[in-house]
Amino acid sequence: MEKIYVTRSSMPSYKEYCEAIKPLWESHWLTNMGQYHRELEERLKDYLDVPEVSLTVNGHMALELAIQSFDFPEGSEIITTPFTFVSTTHAIVRNRLNPIFCDIKESDGTIDETKIEELITPKTVAILPVHVYGNICNIDAIQNIADKYGLKVIYDACHAFGETFKGKSVAGFGDISVFSFHATKVFNTIEGGAVCSKNHEVYEKLYNLKNFGIRSEELVVSVGANAKMNEFEAIMGLCNLKHIDSAINDRKRVSEKYTNAFKEVEGIRLLKFNDNTESNYAYYPIVLEDKYHISRDELYNKLMEKDIYTRKYFYPITADHACFKNKYKYNNLNTARDIAKKVLLLPIYEGLKDETIDRIVTAVLGK
């Protein structure tokens, strides 16, 4: 029986990609912000409707360097969500800052903006929310809090590529929005990431941070890392960007079939998408409540026995991972922990066949 994985990378045709990379054999320019790196930055600025886009080697380094660009004092606090991929928390800690975990909303899995203000201390410098599964945070409320207390807002938008909120690109909210272009994402460059910002000063700072601070052959202006995207990846991005709208539309088809199958099923709860969001259908989570006939872990195992590979995403919450547990200030994270024990991501990707979706639905319903 065919194995069904939780995701599958979107790719252009073999011929299209091979034709696109041919010039690299003539130029031998494979990295160091070459022609295609620059072109992808320009194309993404247009697609994401933002003034500046800085490409990086991956989404984690995009976030880590984005935080670093603010030069926050060591030991400062950043309020964030525990319901995210562990990279979000790693990026804070690797900058020698302290994550302050805020609980999430049961309805959509995003940070609970009503609980942010009580966590602010004299050491707080920023809020780092995550657009979970493409569900957009309460941007207006978060920005109001940030403005009231003079805080920066850094969005982990890795799940939200191409989405709009109230007609505006999610890439333009906050001081910075960060994307991952990992192979599992709606838009991928094989590996890769990007930092979107509103001004060129931030772009220049990120350029230094991702390229050793090198400005010329004899001038190094600051200490930096090596976090550049190479030309093969940039070309993959240019190819995939041509097909991104059709990829999202096909994911919508899959999502709608799931929703029609599960919306009336007792014990299965679907997370609520904000009405003002144009979704990219990056993930399809279901939350298995007590009335469902088996536990989340039991369903996970039963589906695997049928060669259907789902994902417990996110479990455990980042605050409970061994590397963080009991190390940072704990608040009430009951909602995050509860959803983490119940959520399961079903397979969703471009090209998932209707008969395969039916097979997954039948297995989930226990038929």
Cα dihedral 233/235/241/247 (nearest 10): -70
Domain ranges of the chain: 14-242, 244-364
Distance CA 293, CA 268 (A): 10
Helices (H), 138-243: 139-149, 200-210, 231-242
Parallel, antiparallel, or unpaired: how do β-strands 164-165 and 168-169 relate? antiparallel
Q: What is the DSSP letter of 64?
A: H
What pLDDT is stored for residue 326 in this prediction? 81
In this structure, the number of other CB atoms found within 10 A of the CB of residue 42 comes to: 10
**Number of alpha carbons in the 13 Å side-chain half-sphere of residue 70:** 24
pLDDT of residue 328: 77
CB contact at 8 A, 194 and 53: yes
Beta strand 164-165 with 277-278 is antiparallel
Look at the block and give the residue holding tokens 């605050």.
Answer: 319
Strand partners, 211: 226
Q: How far is CA 356 from the centre of its chain?
A: 26
- Same CATH fold, 244-364 and 14-242? no
Give the right CATH number for 244-364 from 3.30.200.20, 3.40.1360.10, 3.90.1150.10, 2.160.10.10.
3.90.1150.10
The strand ranges marked E within 235-300 are 268-270, 277-278, 284-288
Residue 305 is which amino acid? Answer: E
Distances (CA, A) of 211 to 30, 116, 121, 204: 15, 35, 34, 11
- pTM attached to this predicted model: 0.96
What integer pLDDT is reported at residue 53 of this predicted model? 98
β-sheet bridge partners, residue 155: 177
* 144 vs 157: CA distance, rounded Å: 19
Class (C level, CATH) for 14-242? alpha beta
Give me the pLDDT at residue 260, please. 97
The stretches of 263-351 forming alpha helices (DSSP H) are 296-305, 334-342
pLDDT tens series, the chain, 367 aa: 789 999 999 999 999 999 999 999 999 999 999 999 999 999 999 999 999 999 999 999 999 999 999 999 999 999 999 999 999 999 999 999 999 999 999 999 999 999 999 999 999 999 999 999 999 999 999 999 999 999 999 999 999 999 999 999 999 999 999 999 999 999 999 999 999 999 999 999 999 999 999 999 999 999 999 999 999 999 999 999 999 999 999 999 999 999 999 999 999 999 988 788 999 999 999 999 999 989 999 999 999 999 999 999 999 999 999 999 888 766 799 999 999 999 999 999 999 999 999 999 999 998 7
